[in-house]
Amino acid sequence: MQKTKLIGHLAAAGAYAIFGFNIVFCKDIANSGAVPPMVFFTLRALGATALFWLLSLFLPREKVPGRDILRMALASFLGLFVPQASFLFAIGMATSIDTAVLGSLTPIYTMLFAFAFLGEPITLKKAGGVAMSLAGVLLLIYNSTHAPGAVDRTQPLGVLLLLVNGLAFAGYLGAFRPLISRYNVVTLMKWMFLFSLLLALPFSASGLVQLDYAALPSKVLWEIAYVVFFATFVAYFLIPVGQQRLRPTLVSMWSYLQPMIATLISIVIGMDVMTWQKALAAVLVFSGLVLVSRSRAASN
């Protein structure tokens, strides 16, 4: 049991650590204007679909009934298409700080959805842990140096898209754990990304054809490669591994690694400095995680 939970924690932590770098790269690609958001999303879906279907050829085949295929299509819409597409559009309409603040609300949404869909109780220990980690993240965000970017202020549509992003992914985490637990991760993801790709193509087919790939800067190409392979294929392999072993709220709380990693990158490259506030923020975030992991609702 402890080994199973450890694997779940490592998988969730690994996925959200990858997402931490993903935010930086997606922001850079959005600011460059080199690739339209929907085309970028389709490239992610296309790459992940190809990789998961290729990997499935080397694994035992799982039979998926038609009713579960439909459930996977809905899970794809809620867990892949809506969150990724809304994020890629929003990141060009919001400042880094507002993106981080609105993203930090996802564990709260997940806790509420898990209560609504799975009957996962909201214990005092769990609510306190979420609040403690949220306080740590907000302390970190407001005590970090933020380099000026292409966006001077957050647009109302950017706020709406970021709210949609958090609510959709929280709904996916909260509602689809039973489906996710029934299948191998590769089986689940190959179908989910295929549906995501099919949803995206009507909105991006002309852009995919018209994009001048040869003219893309090498930096942007490397960033796209990272996003497709690590932040899509690897991270979305790890997320279901965490979902199968941990309660939804606990999985989503590892998302608090993202602003911590972004801050760490800034410190390493000299754009920010370590302060006692940042150290306290890290303590609060991880203390909250420990508290939630020990709550009765997260232990089974």
Average of pLDDT values for 277-282? 86
Closest by CA to 298, choosing from 238, 255, 257, 242, is 242
Name the strand (E) or helix (H) holding 148. none
Radius of gyration of the chain (CA): 19
Alpha helix (H) residue ranges in 122-155: 124-142
* pLDDT for res 150: 47
| Digit-coded pLDDT (tens) for 237-258 | 999 999 999 989 999 999 988 8
Contacts of 286 (CB under 8 A, 6+ apart): 133
Identify the band that residue 296 occupies on the pLDDT scale cut at 50, 70 and 90. low
* pLDDT for res 254: 92
* pLDDT for res 299: 47
Whole-angstrom distance, CA of residue 246 vs CA of residue 126: 14
Asked whether 260 and 254 are in contact (CB, 8 A), the reply is: no
Asked whether 125 and 266 are in contact (CB, 8 A), the reply is: no
pTM recorded for the entire structure: 0.87
* pLDDT for res 265: 75
| Digit-coded pLDDT (tens) for 113-145 | 999 988 888 888 899 999 999 998 888 877 766
Cα 122-104-255 angle, rounded to 5 deg: 85
- Highest-confidence range of 172-181, 189-198, 208-217, 240-249, by mean pLDDT? 189-198
Whole-angstrom distance, CA of residue 135 vs CA of residue 130: 9
Three-class secondary structure of residue 104 per DSSP: coil
Average of pLDDT values for 37-61? 96
| Digit-coded pLDDT (tens) for 95-108 | 766 777 788 889 99
Indicate if the pLDDT at residue 276 is higher than 90: no
Indicate if the pLDDT at residue 222 is higher than 50: yes
Cα 220-223-229 angle, rounded to 5 deg: 140
Cβ atoms within 10 Å of 175's Cβ, excluding its own: 20
* pLDDT for res 237: 96
